[in-house]
Amino acid sequence: MPSALPPYASTGQRTWYYTFRVICALIFFFLIFPILVIIPLSFNAQNFFTFTPEMLTLDPAGYSLKHYQDFFTNSDWQAAMRNSISIAPAATLLATTFGTVAAIGLSQSHMPFRSVVMAMLISPMIVPLIISAAGMYFFYSRIGLQGTYIGVVMAHAALGTPFVIITVTATLVGFDQSLVRAAANLGANPVTTFFRVQMPLILPGVISGALFAFITSFDEVVVVLFLGSASQKTLPWQMFTGLREQISPTILAVATLLVAISILLLTTLELLRRRSERLRGVTPG
Amino acid sequence: MSDTDQTMAVLTTQDGVPLKVSIRRALRAQKIRALLLVAPLFLFILLSFVAPIADMLFRSVENDIVPNTLPQTVVAIELWDENSGELPGEDVYAALAADLQVATKSKTHTRVGSRLNYEKPGTSSLFRKTGRRVNKFEDGNYKEQFLKADKKWGDVEYWQVIKRFSSPLTGGYFLAASDAERTADGVQLKAEDERIYLLLFGRTLMLSITITASCILLGYPIAWLLASLPLRSSNLLMILVLLPFWTSLLVRTSAWKVLLQQQGVINDTLVWLGIVGDESRLALINNQTGTIIAMTHILLPFMILPLFSVMKTISPTYMRAAKSMGATDWYAFWRVYFPQTIPGIGAGSILVFILSIGYYITPELVGGTSGIFISNRIAYHISSSLNWGLAAALGVMLLVLVMTLYWLYDRIVGIDNVKLG
């Protein structure tokens, strides 16, 4: 697909060029419309899931913040919010710490059995969630972790580590090992070398891995559905039961807030990407 | 003389250690350090993830509840010929009475009953009913007393089931998961109208293929456009792909639930445009259509991103060369550009297929009864029917399927080429 029409293009080429653009626009519309449409709907003054006539005429009476108010005052939603906020950071911390350290070990040239170990550490990402959830439910109820905060955090950390390993090993490919040797040469011990030399350079990879781990835990619903008890009910779980049983428009308010969070995450990641490109000397367009 | 020669030949470090030994020692230290760095995560994943999966594999063949609860019966029934068509002897009835008398004290007889009920309906009530009377049995003539407690004890089939499931390991769950049963003539498929799991596996595969195909259809033009636009505008348009990718799965599913409803936005718009009548609103949700639309939307970024990264590496000069040599636009695309994008299509397809085959949340919420996947059945057996062995067997079968696909993915694309963001 040429990016611009040459001046000598025939009528057929012109038609195809514009048809193709229209097709692409429609697909982009398909991608983005479902996400955008819930934002105005979440301000609906009625308990409907469709645009009321008042909304279509942009009558202020058709809009209200009552679904947001419900979210911030309803004890179920608030408890779910608290659980999500207490589970996701703990799982992220666990996944990022273990994952970063392991990624450094994995990228050393003398690591024995690398491919086997790598395959095992990546496996939580490949195994379908329902199977992980089933296995964890059976096993964790044997060892008494089913329905506990620690059990859910462990499970989410396990699901998040592959992302940390992948992003950090990718960053380490561009890391100059002679810097570590230089630091050691100048008398730094391994711990100082790690925190003062290696860590600042691979930080973008670690942060984006941590963001992936965070969103994995924050969005996760299948595993927590089986593994958690009522006191670990997270935001996605509450949304899931809400959608299955009594669909209330509060879900749309929550969804809008979650979209805002993902925009925030996306921006952070984009900035990190630009930074690492700049460091490598590649200028973004 | 020869001694000095040898010491000269072996290079040593300053403190007299041969160089080879010294290097080996240093290498070993590095190896150990690398291993020690990986060890914490290795152990963590082993405990939190690999052990559960192994436990599930074990549970899919585990059957120790029968031999543990009915130890004497299992030994006694060993000698009975199940194909003779005759009831077992008095010794077996006596052994069962002894076992049940013990089992009723700890109330484990109902658990054996419900375990065997998966294989032969009616066993659960049989064990419960007999359990209430067995402690009043008098010594001797057990067969008569059992038959008096419940007529079913005179039915050979119940005894056959007990004998068949008397070993601590069983393939019974796998048979049930593939809609087969063991009859007197060996393993056979169940009657056609009872084959639910093969039907579900088939439907899961069919729907996943449809979803993958729609992702190729919708993803290809987008990836092509993004790869051919100048970097600045393609970066901007990329946001439209990445935003759905980063949005919570539940948000996207709820959006589709809202859009596709009978009284939802899409049907309202169609009615307003006069395309469909108010009374003939389209049924877009709680069926296969709903699952396909919502999952195509959810998995589309996983198709676009690998396609984009492959197309990005194809130089535009090939197309120009083909056209300068007289190829039409279509011919140049089909014979020159398209073949080079096949690795991207392969990578994206396998990725989307693997992801969709194990999906649970979206089919559960928008699939109704006709649009659900095998995962939903696994979840049902874990949380509703409590037949964990069958859930485990179905899970193992799905796992084998995914692992085979993943192995293919590794062969075609290579796991190291997985890129994120």
- In angstroms, the Cα distances linking B223 to A19, B133, B302, B304 are 16, 72, 11, 5
- In angstroms, the Cα distances linking B24 to A206, B182, B351 are 33, 59, 42
Question: Is B175 inside a domain boundary?
Answer: no
Place of tokens 């639309």: B293
Question: Is B180 inside a domain boundary?
Answer: no
The token duo for A150 is 């620690």
Residue partners of A275: CB distance under 8 A and separation at least 6: A204
Helix then strand then coil, % of chain B, to nearest 5: 75, 5, 25
Q: B13 and B98: one domain?
A: no
Nearest Cα of chain A lies from the Cα of B141 at a distance, in angstroms, of 42
Which one of B58, B78, B105 terminates a domain? B58
Nearest Cα of chain B lies from the Cα of A192 at a distance, in angstroms, of 16
Q: B227 and B254: one domain?
A: yes
Q: Identify which of A35, A121, A284 has the shortest CB distance to residue B41.
A: A121
Question: Is B176 inside a domain boundary?
Answer: no
Residue partners of A151: CB distance under 8 A and separation at least 6: A136, A140, A145, A227, A228
- A108 reaches B (C-beta below 8 A): yes
Distance (Å, whole) CA B211 – CA B217: 10
Q: B69 and B54: one domain?
A: no
Q: B155 and B254: one domain?
A: no
How many domains, chain B? 3
So what's the ipTM on this one?
A: 0.85
Select from A222, A237, A213 the least CA-distant residue to A132: A222
Nearest Cα of chain B lies from the Cα of A121 at a distance, in angstroms, of 7
The token duo for B89 is 């002897």
Q: B385 and B305: one domain?
A: yes
Residues of chain B in contact with residue A283, where contact means CB-CB under 8 angstroms, are none
Q: Identify which of A119, A158, A259 has the shortest CB distance to residue B251.
A: A259
Q: Is A158 helix (H, G, I), strand (E, B) or coil?
A: helix
CATH number of the domain at B277, please: 1.10.3720.10
Q: B108 and B34: one domain?
A: no
Residue partners of B268: CB distance under 8 A and separation at least 6: A50, A51
Which one of B58, B82, B103 terminates a domain? B58
Q: CB–CB of B248 and A16 under 8 A?
A: no
Distance (Å, whole) CA B164 – CA B155: 15
Question: Domain limits at B330?
Answer: 197-417
Residue partners of B183: CB distance under 8 A and separation at least 6: none
Q: Which residue type sits at A161? A: T
Question: Within 10 Å of residue B202's Cβ, how many Cβ atoms?
Answer: 12
Residue partners of B409: CB distance under 8 A and separation at least 6: B347, B350, B351, B354, B415
Query: What pLDDT digit, counting tens, does each position of A173-215 carry?
Result: 878 888 888 998 999 998 898 888 888 888 888 988 998 899 8
- A207 reaches B (C-beta below 8 A): no
Q: Which residue type sits at B257? A: K
Distance (Å, whole) CA A122 – CA B49: 11
- Give the per-residue pLDDT at B231: 85
Q: CB–CB of B421 and A273 under 8 A?
A: yes
Place of tokens 């029409």: A5
Average pLDDT over every residue of A125-139: 91
Q: B218 and B346: one domain?
A: yes
Q: CB–CB of A120 and B419 under 8 A?
A: no
Question: Is B333 inside a domain boundary?
Answer: yes
Q: B155 and B290: one domain?
A: no
Q: CB–CB of B421 and A236 under 8 A?
A: no
Per-residue pLDDT of chain B (421 residues; tens, 9 = 90+): 445 555 556 778 788 888 888 889 888 988 898 899 999 999 999 999 999 999 999 988 888 888 888 888 888 888 788 777 778 888 888 888 888 888 888 888 888 888 888 888 888 888 888 888 888 888 878 888 888 888 888 888 888 888 888 878 888 888 888 888 777 677 778 877 778 898 899 999 999 999 999 999 999 999 999 998 988 888 889 989 989 988 889 999 989 988 888 888 888 888 888 888 888 888 888 889 999 999 999 999 999 988 998 898 888 899 889 989 988 889 999 999 999 898 888 888 988 998 899 899 999 999 888 888 999 999 999 888 888 889 999 999 999 998 888 888 777 766 555 544 4
- Give the per-residue pLDDT at B293: 94
Question: Within 10 Å of residue B37's Cβ, how many Cβ atoms?
Answer: 20
Q: CB–CB of A99 and B41 under 8 A?
A: yes
Select from B315, B292, B310, B275 the least CA-distant residue to B218: B292
Distance (Å, whole) CA B85 – CA A151: 51
Q: Is B185 exposed, middle or buried (0-12, 13-18, 19+ CB in 10 A)?
A: exposed
Question: Within 10 Å of residue B39's Cβ, how many Cβ atoms?
Answer: 15
Q: B155 and B223: one domain?
A: no
- Give the per-residue pLDDT at A284: 41
- In angstroms, the Cα distances linking A117 to A129, A163, A187, B295 are 21, 15, 33, 32
- A17 reaches B (C-beta below 8 A): no
Task: For helices B90-106 and B109-117, give the axis angle rounded to 10 degrees.
Answer: 110
Cα B283 vs. chain centroid, distance in angstroms?
A: 29
* SS3 annotation, B291-335: HHHHHHHHHHHHHHHHHHHHHHCCCCHHHHHHHHCCCCHHHHHHH
Query: What pLDDT digit, counting tens, does each position of A54-106 carry?
Result: 777 777 888 888 889 989 998 989 999 999 999 999 999 999 999 999 999 98
Residue partners of B118: CB distance under 8 A and separation at least 6: B172, B176, B387, B389, B390
Question: Is B181 inside a domain boundary?
Answer: no
Distance (Å, whole) CA B414 – CA B417: 6
Q: B116 and B241: one domain?
A: no
Question: Is B361 inside a domain boundary?
Answer: yes
Q: B143 and B281: one domain?
A: no
Residue A282 has pLDDT above 60, yes or no: no
Distance (Å, whole) CA A259 – CA A257: 5
Query: What pLDDT digit, counting tens, does each position of B276-324 carry?
Result: 888 888 888 888 999 999 999 999 999 998 899 889 888 889 988 998 9
Residues of chain A in contact with residue B244, where contact means CB-CB under 8 angstroms, are 31-32, 34-35
Q: B166 and B211: one domain?
A: no
- Give the per-residue pLDDT at A222: 92
Residues of chain B in contact with residue A142, where contact means CB-CB under 8 angstroms, are 55
Question: Is B185 inside a domain boundary?
Answer: no
- A208 reaches B (C-beta below 8 A): yes
Which one of B170, B187, B209 terminates a domain? B170
Residues A14-22: contacts with CB under 8 Å, at least 24 apart: A16/B329, A20/B221, A20/B225, A21/B225
The one-character DSSP state at B181 is: E
Q: CB–CB of A259 and B247 under 8 A?
A: yes
Residues of chain A in contact with residue B361, where contact means CB-CB under 8 angstroms, are 221-222, 240
Residue partners of A8: CB distance under 8 A and separation at least 6: none
Query: Average model confidence (pLDDT) for chain B?
Result: 85
Question: Within 10 Å of residue A173's Cβ, how many Cβ atoms?
Answer: 9
Place of tokens 């190896």: B31
- In angstroms, the Cα distances linking A81 to A77, B14, B30, B359 are 6, 64, 45, 25
Mutate to test the interface with B, among A16, A31, A222 (most CBs of B within 10 A): A31
Q: CB–CB of A252 and B254 under 8 A?
A: yes
Query: What pLDDT digit, counting tens, does each position of B117-136 carry?
Result: 888 888 888 888 888 888 88
Select from B38, B275, B119 the least CA-distant residue to A161: B38
Residues A99 and A161: beta-carbon distance below 8 Å? yes
- In angstroms, the Cα distances linking B51 to A135, A199, B46, B64 are 8, 32, 6, 20
Residues B277 and B271: beta-carbon distance below 8 Å? yes
Question: Is B183 inside a domain boundary?
Answer: no
- Give the per-residue pLDDT at B420: 46
Q: Is B216 exposed, middle or buried (0-12, 13-18, 19+ CB in 10 A)?
A: middle
Distance (Å, whole) CA B121 – CA B15: 80
Mutate to test the interface with A, among B246, B253, B365 (most CBs of A within 10 A): B246
